[in-house]
Structure 1
Amino acid sequence: MSDLIFHHYANSPFSEKVRTIFGYKKLPWKSVLIPAIMPKPNLTALTGGYRKTPVLQIGADIYCDTALIANVLEQIAPAPTLYPPETEGVARTLAQWADSTLFWTVIPYIFQQPAAIQSILGGATPEQMKAFAADRAGFRGNAPRISVGEATGSLLEYLRRLENMIGNGKHYLLGAQPCIADFSVYHCLWFVQKAKEVASILDRAPRLQAWMARMAAIGHHQFEAMSGEQALEAARSASPANIDAAFVNTFGIALGEQVTIAPTDYGIDPVEGELVMATDNELAVRRTDPQAGTVVVHFPRLGFQLKKI
């Protein structure tokens, strides 16, 4: 198998989700650190403009969005599973809630409190903080905007609900072992925990704090640093994997047509290419870049919009 090349930055909560999945599945990986804000020239050469973090690269195949990345890692290392059959439906649904609703409760809770921002962006100059704010203003797209008071009240209620899910012999949200729901909820609360000045809200949920300690103990397994230039070379020297999947056409668009794919919530910059895959849960386009060569960029179907050019 080609190297698992992971494009991320340290304080990215969604990156922590995947880093912990690497740890759970004992998968070695290559670490490519990217800027937290645009421009990201090496990554853009691979993705064609997708700007969310993180991104997983396997040779000349580029996987966007952690929901899809988790599926890919499950295929590579089926055990231990992220999707126990007896709870798969509810686990995926809870994970989707965490990655959207819970995440967009945590973000205003943290970033509308100046003391918390210092924890997340510690050491940043006023110019860097201004650049970060400008980047995120354009990044938000259609994401909901709520006040810090609304975010605090909602987060307290969500913590109460999550606290109730743990106990009575359950060490994790849905059973004795972690599943995709645990990793999705964990990365949101990990981000709250990093904002030390406002992290005391977690003290309201002691069982949840013990669960977070168990999740943190999973770690990130083994990884080695890789430069962005080395990642580009890995893409140039590889060919995209053969696609052998049933075509599920709900768009009235044929394979081989030029399309754009973009998130529907935030970071909505479109990626343009030739449609080469549309399955029940995945979309993909082939594109060529002078730096990256020919790559196939993959997206989950849920949360993304496909349009014919």
Structure 2
Amino acid sequence: MSDLILHHYPPSPVTEKIRTGFGLKDLHWRSCEQNRLPDRPELFAMTGGYRRIPVLQIGADIYCDTQCMFHALEAVKPEPSFFPGGSDGMPFAVSRWTDRELFDSAFRVAFAPVFENLPPAFVADRARLYLGPDGDLAKELADLPHTLAQLRAQIGWLETRLATGRSFLLGAEPGMPDLLAWFIVWFVRARYGEAESFFAEFPALNAWADRMGAIGHGTSQPISPTEALAVAKAARPTTAEQSDPRDPQGLKPGMQASVAPTTDSGETAVEGVIRAVSRDTIALTRTSAECGEVAVHFPRVGYRVSVLD
């Protein structure tokens, strides 16, 4: 099997889900550090312009969105599972809360108090991405008490769950729900200046966070974006053609299509030829001189697939 290559940058909160997932499964991976702003020509050659971080690369198969990455890593190494105790399916429903409502509050709490001290280009990029076309971190700063109340209540749900004596959210073993909650706690702890005071009322969650931090990130070696691009060019996608006769949109392999997030985040749609389609995922074949043929994978939930004329 080709190396697991993670395109990321160290402070990326969403990437912390996957890095700790590597640790949970004790995986070896290659760390491809990317720019914090979307100036990533080698990565864009592979993804077709998908600008979010992280991206998982396995040879010439490119996985966008952590929903796809969890599926891919579970297939690479089924044990220990991301779904202990037969919890398959449920964590993806939980992710719709952690990655949207919970992350929205965490982002505002982490960025609003310090936005004036950050590079303007970085602030503008993240405000557009996460707050929409009218995003304004100055307004978010004025509304911070409300946002903290929202975040506090949601962190309280996790505290209530862990206060029952469980070591992890599903019981004795860590799983995907822990990774989904961990990246939020990790992010707020690292970025919010009053984090110690904020989390002081959550002793069970703090003990759990210590256990999560101890999982680590597996083992990694660096790889440059240029080297990762060469890996893709030298490989061929392993994803087989797949149809779904029950697909509500009538999507079929061979169709030209585009995929874009359903949020109003100003992102460019990725275009390609449908290679595989299922209830949960879609893969597009893309070919370019820079990387050869690749299969770019997306989840169905949270993304709009449009057939191109």
TM-score higher than 0.5: yes
* Regions of 4+ moved over 4 Å: 141-146
Match of residue 224 from structure 1: 221
Partner in structure 2 of residue 102 of structure 1: 102
Which runs of 5 or more residues in structure 1 are unaligned?
119-125
Please give the alpha-carbon distance, in whole angstroms, between the structure 2 residues aligned to 1:141 and 1:13.
Answer: 16
Gaps of 5+ in 2: none
Partner of 2:203: 206
Alignment of 1:1-309 (within 5 A): 1-114=1-114, 129-140=119-130, 142=132, 147-200=143-196, 201-243=198-240, 245-247=242-244, 248-265=246-263, 266=265, 268-309=267-308
SS in 2 for 1:87: coil
Q: Which amino acid aligns with 1:55?
A: V
- Given the two structures, how large is their TM-score scaled by the length of structure 1? 0.91
**Is the Cα–Cα contact under 8 Å of residues 141 and 268 in structure 1 kept in the other structure?**
no
* 267-276 vs 175-184, greater mean Cα deviation: 267-276
Q: In the TM superposition, what is the alpha-carbon distance from 1:131 to its structure 2 partner?
A: 1.2
Q: For 2:287 and 2:122, how far apart are their aligned partners in 1?
A: 30
Q: Secondary structure at the match of 2:193?
A: helix
Task: Tell me the SS of whatever aligns to 1:79.
Answer: coil
Q: Deviations over 1:122-141 (max 9, x none)?
A: xxxx7x71110122233237
Superposition RMSD on alpha carbons, in Å? 1.9
Quick one: which amino acid aligns to residue 13 of structure 1?
Answer: P
The more displaced of 128-137 and 48-57 is 128-137
TM-score (normalised: structure 2): 0.91
Alpha-carbon distance change, 196 to 97 in structure 1, aligned in 2, over 3 angstroms: closer
**How far is 1:199 from its partner?**
1.0
Residues matched between the structures, number: 299
- Give the 3 Å change call, closer, same or farther, for CA 144–82 of structure 1 in structure 2: farther
SS of match in other structure, 2:227: helix
Deviations 1:266-296 (A, max 9, x none): 4632000001111011111001122111111
Say whether the 8 Å CA contact 1:91–1:174 is kept in structure 2: no
Matched-pair identity in %: 36
